């Protein structure tokens, strides 16, 4: 009771929904929802990992299974569902004595609490991404990665937005949102595959990783802009310019602040002696930055990302990353499973005539998503013999960043069901395609034996990749006797 009263005090939106609801039933419904979410995320993540795909994709598919598309265990009213379609509500009626009259209020309160937890999860996700984004590495990747990143953002964004508006007649705000979802690149997926291929430190690998990191930064700015536009439901050029300037200035200000704040943060953490002496001040800072971002009409996630960039420069970065991971493990899956649960893939069923437009939109977005990134390799200059196709293919996967766009778009109400499902299908397909395509465009290196060394050549360009001296083993006395 006290917990729910505190929640209602913090989130007035919940007060009206829970006023007539039994507090104990709301808590029970939320707990069951979390059981479903964690089971879906863990089973989906493990299965995805075992077939060589990123766990986050499995979390998304797990959400699809337990959500409105399949099992109806986790459904939300904003998707058009009501309490009668929720199996959790039916289970509470059977096992806990929830009355049919009280079910709608309990369902509304449970959905609001889970949605709030999902929003908190995406804020922590962006804070964690900021902690992993090294500013010095970003500045060291050079002009090549910047050009690749900018082209990889501008081309799919422009092609997707204009195509949806002219071909499908989609209004400006949802078209811009869908176009923005095409800009992201998943650095996690690409870096894992490059590492497995032994190409992470090649010229191609360095350009891909640098461009992917810059893509994420540009993508966060784009997301902040389009999410703010979605709140008003109209495109105001003056406001767009203001949002771009304010978002860029906010990040640059955070970078400058980092040089001043880092030492103070470490000094404060060193003075604290109780549990959470490092992670609690870090989250206070992240939430304050998120609030400031929201206060100037940007997205809270931009503030969390900026906070991560600031603290990444501190001496306690590695220790802080370790402490943030278990918290992110608890809250971030709620976001991804909720995104999947809200996605109604039934709108892409070709057997229903009205759904065919959604399928065509999905095909269009997938085509733009692939071509818009592959052509980025053509922009690389001054690098004779470099594998430009590999660079373009390495930029294809959208992964978790694309899901953030889809989730924020769905939560804002800017995306229709067909368009939201089409974006999810684009994210899934590009994530599935990227690993095998990278293995295809990066052929196995050829080994050439010489008298004094083993020279490994790139199969596509013939340039040396690795030079390994021969391994000599000095025999021991025992080995000499045996020989």
Please report the DSSP string for 349-366 in residue order.
Answer: -TTSGGGHHHHHHHHHHH
Q: Pairing state of beta strands 446-449 and 454-457?
A: antiparallel
| Model pLDDT, residue 160 | 93
How many residues appear in the chain? 483
Collapsed DSSP state (helix, strand, coil) of residue 449: strand
Alpha-carbon distance of 107 to 84, in angstroms, equals 9
Give the residue, 135 or 406, on which the prediction is more confident: 406
Give pLDDT, residue 478.
45
Indicate if the pLDDT at residue 38 is higher than 90: yes
**Average pLDDT of span 250-267:** 78
* Contact call for residues 230 and 177 (beta carbons, < 8 A): yes
132-333+348-441 to CATH, choices 2.40.160.20, 1.20.1530.20, 3.40.50.2300, 2.30.40.10: 1.20.1530.20
What average pLDDT does range 235-255 have in this prediction? 75
Q: Where are the domains of the chain?
A: 23-113, 132-333+348-441
Tell me what the mean pLDDT of segment 427-431 comes to: 80
Least trusted range by pLDDT, from 42-51, 189-198, 420-429: 189-198
pLDDT value of residue 62: 92
Is the predicted pLDDT of residue 242 greater than 70, yes or no?
yes
Q: Is residue 473 predicted with pLDDT exceeding 60?
A: no
| pLDDT reading at 472 higher than 60 | no
The pLDDT score that the predictor gives to residue 31 is 95
| Structure confidence at residue 141 (pLDDT) | 55
| Section 122-143 average pLDDT | 73
Q: Is the pLDDT of residue 53 over 70?
A: yes
Determine the Cα–Cα distance for residues 465 and 478; give it in Å rounded to an integer: 38
The CA-based angle 174-116-24, given to 5 degrees, is 140
Q: What is the mean pLDDT of residues 313-319?
A: 80
Among 28-37, 135-144, 163-172, 220-229, the range with the most confident prediction by mean pLDDT is: 28-37
pTM of the model: 0.69
Compare 458 and 237 and report the one with higher pLDDT.
Answer: 237
Question: Per mean pLDDT, which of 160-174, 289-303, 308-322 is the most reliable?
Answer: 160-174
Rounded Cα distance, 321 and 324, in Å? 5
Using one digit for the tens of pLDDT, what is the confidence trace for 334-392?
988 988 888 777 777 777 776 788 888 989 999 999 999 999 888 877 677 788 888 88
Look up residue 339 and give its two tokens.
Answer: 């995104």
What is the H or E stretch that residue 457 is in? strand 454-457
Give every CB contact of residue 189 below 8 A, 6+ residues apart in sequence: 54, 397, 399, 431, 434, 435
Whether 113 contacts 334, CB under 8 Å: no
- As a whole number of angstroms, the distance between CA 427 and CA 205 comes to 22
């Amino acid at each position: 009771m006290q917990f729910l009263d505190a929640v209602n005090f913090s989130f007035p939106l919940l007060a009206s929904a829970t006023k007539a609801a039994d507090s104990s039933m709301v808590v029970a419904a939320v707990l069951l929802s979390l059981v479903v979410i964690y089971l879906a995320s863990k089973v989906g993540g493990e299965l995805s990992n075992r077939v060589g795909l990123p766990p986050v994709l499995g979390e998304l598919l797990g959400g699809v299974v337990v959500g409105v598309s399949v099992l109806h265990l986790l459904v939300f009213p904003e998707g058009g569902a009501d309490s009668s379609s929720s199996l959790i509500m039916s289970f509470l009626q059977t096992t806990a004595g929830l009355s049919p009259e009280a079910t709608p209020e309990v369902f509304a309160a449970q959905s609001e609490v889970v949605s709030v937890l999902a929003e908190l999860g995406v804020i922590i996700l962006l804070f964690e991404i900021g902690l992993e984004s090294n500013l010095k590495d970003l500045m060291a990747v050079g002009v090549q990665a910047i050009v690749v990143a900018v082209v990889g953002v501008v081309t799919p964004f422009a092609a997707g937005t204009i195509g949806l508006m002219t071909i499908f007649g989609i209004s400006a705000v949802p078209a811009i949102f869908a176009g923005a979802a095409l800009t992201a690149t998943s650095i996690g997926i690409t870096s894992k595959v490059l590492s497995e291929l032994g190409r992470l430190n090649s010229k191609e690998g360095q350009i891909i990783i640098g461009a992917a990191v810059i893509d994420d930064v540009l993508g966060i700015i784009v997301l902040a802009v389009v999410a703010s536009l979605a709140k008003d439901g109209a495109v105001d050029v003056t406001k767009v310019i203001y949002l771009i300037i304010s978002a860029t200035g906010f990040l640059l200000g955070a970078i400058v602040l980092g040089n001043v704040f880092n030492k103070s943060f470490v000094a404060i953490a060193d003075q604290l002696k109780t549990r959470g002496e490092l992670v609690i001040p870090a989250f206070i800072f992240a939430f304050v930055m998120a609030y400031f971002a929201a206060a100037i009409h940007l997205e809270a996630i931009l503030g969390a990302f900026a906070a991560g960039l600031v603290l990444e420069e501190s001496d306690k970065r590695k220790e802080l990353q370790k402490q943030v991971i278990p918290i992110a493990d608890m809250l971030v899956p709620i976001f991804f499973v909720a995104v999947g649960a809200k996605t109604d893939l039934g709108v892409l069923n070709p057997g229903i005539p009205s759904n065919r437009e959604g399928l065509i939109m999905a095909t269009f977005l997938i085509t733009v998503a692939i071509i818009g990134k592959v052509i980025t390799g053509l922009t690389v200059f001054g690098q004779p013999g470099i594998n430009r196709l590999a660079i373009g293919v390495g930029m294809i996967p959208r992964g978790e960043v694309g899901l953030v766009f889809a989730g924020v778009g769905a939560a804002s109400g800017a995306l229709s069901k067909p368009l939201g499902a089409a974006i999810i299908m684009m994210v899934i397909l590009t994530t599935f395609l990227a690993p095998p395509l990278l293995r295809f465009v990066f052929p196995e290196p050829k080994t050439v034996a010489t008298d004094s060394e083993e020279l490994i050549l790139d199969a596509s360009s013939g340039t040396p990749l690795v030079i390994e001296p021969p391994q000599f083993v000095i025999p021991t006395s025992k080995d000499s006797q045996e020989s």
